[in-house]
Amino acid sequence: MEPAQTIIRKLGGPSVVADLLGVHRTRVSSWQRSRKTGGTDGRVPQNHIPALLAHARAHHIDLAAEDFLLVEQSGGTRGRRTSKPDRQRADSPTAGKCILLIIGGGIAAYKSLDLIRRLRERGAEVRCILTPAGEEFVTKLAAGALANAVFTDLFDPQSEFDVGHIRLAREADLIVVAPATADLMAKMAGGHADDLATAVLLAADSPILLAPAMNPHMWARAATRRNVAQLAADGAAFVGPNAGEMAERGEAGTGRMAEPLEIVAAAEAMLAPAERPLAGKRVLVTSGPTLEAIDPVRYIGNRSSGRQGHAIAEAAARAGADVVLVSGPVALPDPPGVNVVKVESAREMLKAVEAALPADVAIFAAAVADWRVAEAGRQKLKKGEGGPPTFTMVENPDILASVAHRKAKRPKLVIGFAAETANVIANAKDKLKRKGCDWILANDVSPQAGVFGGDENTIHLVSAAGVGSWPTQTKNEVASTLVARIAENLGAKP
C-alpha cells in the first residue's frame, strides 16, 4: 500500500483529510494516482505533512513521520526508506565526512529523516542525536534505520564510559541542527549543556550549521533575533528559514525549515575546499526594502524580503571578499563574515552606500521605494470629516544611477536588479541604458512568480554583450552563480 493511501485510511478517508486541510476531496484522492494522470505517485505533498502529523498526534492516531517516506529502489520498485543509500556521490564534499545531525523537537523533524538519506547517498557518515523533544516527533528506531548511529542520552553508560559527548563533538567534520528550534537556539546562545545535544554543541570546535524551524511569531520575536545574532557572531551558519504555510491551520510566514536538499547544499558549501576568488576585493551589496515614513506610524514600503541580497552578500564573503551589506528592514539574520549597515529610508541607504565606497563591485539588489511623501507628518494622521488625506509625492534619489555615473570612486562593476511584472527583458535593457550600469539582473516579480518572499528566482543577465537567461534556481544558487560570474569578470578564476 502506498504512503498516501495508508495515511488517508488512518485519518478517516479523503473527506476527513480534505476538511482538515481545507482543500477539495478530489485533490486528496489525486494523491493516490500517478503523475501521468495528475496525481502524486502515492506521495503526500510536503506542505501538508506537518498539519497531518499534528492532527494525528492530537487525536492519538498511529501515524509517524516515516509513514510519509517513499523512495525509488533498485529495479524501479517503490517502498519505505532503508539505511542503504540510493547511490554514492564521491564528488560531493560530504563524501567520507562525518556529519553529526541533531534533531530538535519540532514538527519539521520529519524532514530530517529525508536529510539523513540525502547526506548518506552523498557518501557521508551520519550520526544522529535526538533531543528529548525530538524523540516526541521522530522515533529512535526510524532514525536508526537511516543513520549510521543514533544517540539520545547524556548519561548513557555504554557511550559515556569514554566521555562520549566529547568524542561525538571532536569526531564530527560538521554539526547540523535540523530542526533548530527556538528553545534549542536559545540554549546554544546561552551556553547551556543540560542534555546530550547541548553538551556536544558547547564542546564542539567543528563548524555548525543551523536550520531554524518555528512559528513565524516566534522567529520574529526580539529574543529570537538576539539569539540568532549571537549565534552568527559565534560563527554558526544558517540555512533558512523559508516562508510558507505552517503546521497550524491558517498560519503562514517565515519559519519553515529549509528543505533537505537546501540543507545538503549548505553542508556541501561548508565542507568544500575553500576557494576565495574574490580575496582582496571589496564588494558593496544593498538588500531588502526601504520604508518611507508617512507619519510616525505609517509608511510606504514593498514586499521585498531581502533574501536575494543577503544571499549575494554571504556568497561574496565566502568567496573571500570584504563585503559591506547595506540593508533595509528585513527579518533575516546578518550573513556571517559581512559588515552590515542597517538603514530604513532611501536617503539613508544612499548615504550608507556613498560612505562604503570605494569598492571593486557594487550590487544593488535592494527594492528602493521610488517615491516618498514630501513632508511626513510629525504626529499620527487622524481620520477627519474631510475624507482621506492627500499627499505630495517627491522622487527618491536613484542610488544605482548615482553610483554608476560617478566620475570618482565608481566601482569597476556596477550591477543592478530589474524587478518587473511585464516585458521583463525589454524593460531591463532600457534600464541598463538609463542607469549607466554594467549588468542588470532582471526577474519577474509578478504575484504568480512568487519571487518576493519566496525561495527561488529566475534571472536574465542583461549586459552590453547581450542577454543570458539562467535556469530557475534557489536564491542561494543565484548568489553563487553571480559571484562566479563576477570573479570571472574581474579576472579571478572562480
Which pLDDT does position 181 carry in this prediction? 92
Helix axes of 109-120 and 49-58: crossing angle, nearest 10 degrees: 130
Provide the sign of the torsion angle of the four alpha carbons 476, 479, 485, 488, taken in this order. negative
Q: Which residue has the cell 543577503?
A: 310
Q: For residue range 349-362, what is the model confidence (pLDDT) as tens digits?
A: 999 999 999 999 99
Q: Give me the percent of the chain exceeding a pLDDT of 70.
A: 81
Which pLDDT does position 176 carry in this prediction? 94
344 pLDDT tier (thresholds 50, 70, 90)? very high
Q: What is the DSSP string of 126-184?
A: EEEEE-TTGGGTS-HHHHHHHSSEEE--TT-TTTSTT-HHHHHHHH-SEEEEEEE-HHH
**Which residues, 6 or more positions from 459, have their beta carbon under 8 angstroms from its beta carbon?**
441, 442, 443, 469, 470, 473, 478, 481, 482
Catalytically annotated residues: 302
Look at 24-38, 280-294, 361-375 and tell me which has the smallest mean pLDDT: 24-38
86 pLDDT tier (thresholds 50, 70, 90)? very low
d(CA 301, CA 280): 36
Which pLDDT does position 330 carry in this prediction? 94
450 pLDDT tier (thresholds 50, 70, 90)? low
Run of H or E including 235? none
What's the chain's average pLDDT?
82
pLDDT over 60 (residue 377): yes
* Interval 206-228 mean pLDDT: 90
Which pLDDT does position 78 carry in this prediction? 37
**Which residues, 6 or more positions from 288, have their beta carbon under 8 angstroms from its beta carbon?**
304, 305, 306, 309, 310, 327, 328, 329, 330, 332, 366, 367
* Interval 385-399 mean pLDDT: 88
pLDDT over 50 (residue 87): no
Tell me the domains of the chain and their CATH numbers: 3-76 (1.10.260.40), 85-271 (3.40.50.1950), 282-378+391-489 (3.40.50.10300)
Q: For residue range 175-199, what is the model confidence (pLDDT) as tens digits?
A: 999 899 999 999 999 999 888 898 8
Q: What are phi and psi of 209, to 5 degrees?
A: -115, 125
Which pLDDT does position 82 carry in this prediction? 40
In the chain, the amino acid numbered 333 is: P
* Interval 150-165 mean pLDDT: 61
Which pLDDT does position 256 carry in this prediction? 85
Tell me 47's DSSP state.
Answer: G
- Our CA dihedral for 231, 477, 242, 238, rounded to 10 degrees, sits at -10
Residue 44, exposed/middle/buried by CB under 10 A (0-12, 13-18, 19+)?
A: buried
List the one residue out of 285, 273, 351 whose CA is nearest residue 314. 285
**Cα Dmax for the chain:** 79
* Size of the chain, expressed as the number of residues it contains: 494
pLDDT over 60 (residue 83): no
pLDDT over 80 (residue 415): yes
Q: For residue range 67-81, what is the model confidence (pLDDT) as tens digits?
A: 665 433 333 333 333
Structural contact between residues 265 and 119, judged by C-beta atoms closer than 8 angstroms: no
**Which residues, 6 or more positions from 324, have their beta carbon under 8 angstroms from its beta carbon?**
282, 283, 284, 285, 338, 339, 341, 356, 359
Whether the ω angle into residue 471 lies within 30 degrees of 0, i.e. cis, is no
The count of C-alpha atoms lying within 13 angstroms of the C-alpha of 483, restricted to the half-sphere facing its C-beta, is 32
